[in-house]
Structure 1
Amino acid sequence: MSEAVTRIVTAPPGLLASLDPLLREWLPRQRWFAGKGRPVTGFTLVEATELLPSTAKLGLYHLLVRAHQPLVPGHSAPEQPGDCYQLLIGVREALPPRLAPALIGHVTSGPLAGRTVYEALHDPRPAELLLEALRTQARIGGLRFDRDPHQEIRAGLVPRLVTAEQSNSSVVYGDTFILKLMRRVVPGINPDLELPLALARVGCPKVPPPTAWMVADVGRSAASAAVTGPADFADEPYVLGVLQPFVQGAADGWELALRELAKGEDFVAEARDLGRATAEVHTALARALPTVTMGHLQLQRTVEGMIERLEAAVQAVPALRPYAPGLHSAFTALGDLAAEGRTWTAQRIHGDLHLGQCLRSPAGDWWLIDFEGEPVRPLAERRMPQPAMKDVAGMLRSFDYAARSVDPPQPDWARTCRAAYCSGYAEAADRDPRTDPVLLRAYETDKAIYEVVYEARHRPDWLPVPMAAVHRLASADPT
């Protein structure tokens, strides 16, 4: 195993101040920026690490910054430090044409005055540096690069940025590895590293095992102490990125489903295999990590949360009002069972399972990826044990989305896929999700309500998709 390479670095004074006006314009335009619709009014520097000296032809800075935004757009209330973002800032005298789409701007003051800064992941050299740091287990300032000693990382793998990203960024290295870099980061144990590591320990073959990972020990190094100021969750590391094997030739589950729909083909065999793979992952997670029994009090809190989300959604989307009583009944039915003494097992789950979180290899094997959970949820909530039915409900909604994203919609296609998925799940887990209809309906209803609010805010043309599910789930027979 290679010895760790340690470097103590400090950021030049005034670095963030010089970048501030450029980042205010650039950051809100990024797909992974979570605070859209509210202006950025400033930044707090959490961590700054110089990975390549800015005095050279190519400089590189790793930054963790908190974006300040008003709570309400146009409101005069004081701003507050908000989400923390991971940035990789490249520095050059001028950008070559191939890097023009990565431009952040031209710095006019401070230590980088006269230089051009850009999104460094578009540039092969910075991407190569990250892989080499992982390979050698480097320590650079507050950044720590760790790896599984049993997996080999070859030097010199050619990087390419994956362009089809939303909440994070990914770089593929020579069709051998893929590095997922979290953009909005929080201190604490990230389930996107925690759960695949746990699954690897118990030999689960349905999830790519982590090869290496990148962490920021904020507040634990001299470099970070020089730039952080007041303690910023100093005892909690930030998980910044995870390197995993790249499943070469794999098809994204969502794209695969749409292709089959376009050809008029069914998806029954694939859905059954995916159900089996989901059950295998759930079984492995229950073996690797503790499970708990959810009794009356725990279920009551779950039901109350579902009802609160329904009430907020009805206020936000008036189209839900006629369906509110029927949707409410999906949650009270679950509460009634809990009051009668019914219990359920809760465990660690994927947390945001849908077709886009699954890969099908050329050999026909399904892999589950992206265990981060719903990024809008607090980290502690994403790490809580929950009924595995939540994942099942998410996948059933995904089949419905695929079937209704085509013209004309194909509801029968969705029904056969949903049935096949549940049958495959039962084959591997010895329990069919359909035998617990009250719990399944509650979680599917909760998911559909979330979808209605999301589509109403971001994609109004898609609103009929979850509204069709609302119509079904609010009925007396929501099958």
Structure 2
Amino acid sequence: MNSEIEGERPSIADRVLAVDPDGRILVDGGAPAAGDGVALALARRVVDDLAAGAGEQAIAVDQTNTSVVVDGRFVVKLVGRWAAADRAARLLQRLAEAGSDDVARLKGRVEWRHPRLGTSTLAIVTEYLPGAEDGWTWAVDDVVAVLGGEADPDWPAILGTRVAHVHDALGTDARQAGTDAAGRRLTRAAGALRSAVTAAEGPSGARLRNRRTSLERDIRSLGETRPGFEFPIHGDLHVGQVLASPAPAGSRRYTIIDFDGDPQLSPDERERPDAAARDIAHLLVSLDLVAAVAQKRAGRVDTRAFDWADRARTELLDAYRAALGRAELFDPGLLPGFEAEQLVAELHYADRFLPVWRYAPDAAITYRHPSSNDHPEEPWTPPPFAPTSN
């Protein structure tokens, strides 16, 4: 069930909503917060059996939006900026209409009809998954356990199947990409590599430069690919976008979240349809990143982590291809170029915003691409593990 509010400064739970000149959505002039009653009031617009006094609890997982657990049953995602969740709302609605259980079940959304700005999603209400953790926790825990002698987990194949279901649902209106698709993909990936090389410094920079030839070779392959089909993909798919929550008999339920698109792209670029292979490439790269984080957690270089990643990648890709009903959506020839692009994009992101994360894409690039030995380099080693670090 969906709902709508109207006006330039509508009142919700005796609080005034407004949009500032920068596009931020404000509640009484500030950021919304659990306990102010706004999340509950919005949830009651799309959920019939919510009591007026139901509780609110903050979830500190989203820096862009405000997520609040209401009544211990629902998550209300309050959008932080005008139009920031329109894409996610549309895709979740399509998945709900397709009967998908691969994402958190959508209860409804509240739209805001603004006299100057038009109509945009204000809040998305989904089911709450108690005890859920994202993949940077549960996946790393599982790989650390593998390093300790336990059997490989079964979730790579499960994720491959779930992503196939999502792509089948979102790809119902897939269209043939334009004849310029190969050139666009090549230009974007080549630019990502140049930016990463320019920004990289120190030991990781030397390792990157020694692997530039190999990365360039994979990226150049994008220029030789067919246009193929494009549709609205997830856009930012990695293990951190998969929640694992307790299920009956000690099992887990895996749920894909966050359909806002790649945060490093402009809003217009995020709206563009893309190839299914980009989601798969990003997810495969994230398995390598999990292997790097597991070695950091273990406090040593352990080649068995990337041995696991090799097996997990194969299992995920095999399961995806087996479950994908619309086989025409996926072109495996795009994977090498898309993976290379994502690896260098991860490294460049770390160099700009999160230096403590640099070690992970550095490890994956070092493992996946041979060195030209043009520059002296040190072997990759994980940084010391600290519970408060990334």
Partner residue in 2 for 1:248:
130
Structure 1 residue 372: Cα displacement: 0.7
2:42 to 118, 130, 140: 130
Q: How does 1:221-300 map to 2 (within 5 A)?
A: 234=117, 236-263=118-145, 264=148, 265-287=150-172, 290-294=173-177, 296-300=179-183
Q: Distance in 2 between matches of 1:165 and 1:426?
A: 32
1:400: which partner in 2? Answer: 288
Distance 1:355 1:275, change over 3 A: same
Q: Displacement, 1:436? A: 5.6
CA change 1:326–1:127 in 2 (3 A) is: same
- Separation in 1, partners of 2:73, 2:96: 18
- Which of 183, 187, 207 aligns to 1:304? It is 187
How many Å separate the matches in 2 of 1:7 and 1:443? 42
Please identify runs of 4+ aligned residues in structure 1 that moved more than 6 A. 4-8, 430-433
1:4-43 aligned at under 5 Å gives the runs: none
Give the aligned residue type for 1:213: R
CA distance in 1, matches of 2:4, 2:130: 31
Structure 1 residue aligned with 2:380: none
- Secondary structure (helix, strand or coil) at the match of 1:128 reads helix
Q: Name 2:378's counterpart in structure 1.
A: none
- Considering fraction of residues, name the structure with more strand: 1
The answer on whether the counterparts of 1:248 and 1:361 sit within 8 Å (CA) in structure 2 is yes
Aligned residue in 2 for 1:376: 264
Equivalent in the alignment of 2:233: 349
Separation of aligned partners in 2, 1:199 and 1:467: 35
Q: Residue 452 of structure 1: CA displacement? A: 0.7
Counterpart of 1:359, as a letter, is: L
Alignment of 1:385-424 (within 5 A): 385-405=273-293, 406=297, 407-409=299-301, 410-424=305-319
> What's the TM-score, normalizing by structure 2?
0.79
Query: What corresponds to 1:315 in structure 2?
Result: 198
User: What one-letter code is carried by the residue in structure 2 that aligns with 1:302?
Assistant: R
Quote the residue 1:366 is aligned against. Answer: 254
Secondary structure of the corresponding residue to residue 341 of structure 2: helix
Q: Give the share of equivalent positions with the same residue, in percent.
A: 28
The Cα offsets for residues 284-313 of structure 1, whole Å up to 9 and x where unpaired, read as 1112xx112235422112211211222222
Residues in 2 aligned to 1:247 and 1:277: alpha-carbon distance in whole angstroms: 17
Distance in 1 separating the partners of 2:78 and 2:38: 13
User: Could you list the runs of 5+ residues in structure 2 that have no partner in the other structure?
Assistant: 372-390
Give 1:355 deviation, angstroms: 1.2
Q: Amino acid of the residue matched to residue 280 of structure 2?
A: V
Distance between the aligned counterparts of 2:311 and 2:79, measured in 1? 36
Q: Which residue of 1 aligns with 2:338?
A: 443
Asked if the contact 1:197–1:209 (Cα under 8 Å) also holds between the matched residues in 2, the reply is no
Displacement of 1:86 in angstroms is 1.9
Query: Following the alignment from structure 2 to structure 1, what is the Cα–Cα distance between the partners of residues 190 and 318?
Result: 30
Equivalent AA in structure 2 for residue 283 of structure 1 = D
Cα distance in 2, alignment partners of residues 423 and 307 from structure 1? 28
Shift of 1:257: 1.1
- Asked whether the 8 Å contact 1:330–1:445 carries over to 2, the reply is yes
Answering whether residue 349 of structure 2 is matched by residue 458 of structure 1, we say: no
Larger radius of gyration: 1
> Are residue 174 (structure 1) and residue 71 (structure 2) matched?
yes
In the TM superposition, residue 371 of structure 1 has moved relative to its aligned partner by 0.7
**Residue deviations 1:338-394 (CA, integer Å, cap 9, x gap):** 3xxx34222221111111211234233322111111233223322222111111111
What is the aligned partner in structure 2 of residue 203 from structure 1? 99
* CA deviation string 1:194-243 (max 9, x = no partner): 011111222222123432223232325xxxxxxxxxxxxx3x42322211
Paired position in structure 2 for 1:219: 115
Q: CA deviation at 1:164?
A: 3.0
Aligned partner letter, 1:453: H
CA contact (8 A) 1:448 1:466 kept: yes
In 1, are the aligned partners of 2:236 and 2:259 still within 8 Å (CA)? yes
Higher relative contact order (CA 8 A, sep 6+): 2
1:177-188 superposed matches below 5 A:
177-186=74-83
Q: CA deviation at 1:444?
A: 0.9
Q: Which runs of 5 or more residues in structure 1 are unaligned?
A: 9-46, 54-59, 68-83, 91-117, 136-146, 221-233
**Aligned length in residues:** 351
* Aligned residue type for 1:380: D
- Provide the C-alpha distance between the structure 2 equivalents of 1:301 and 1:164, rounded to a whole number of angstroms: 33
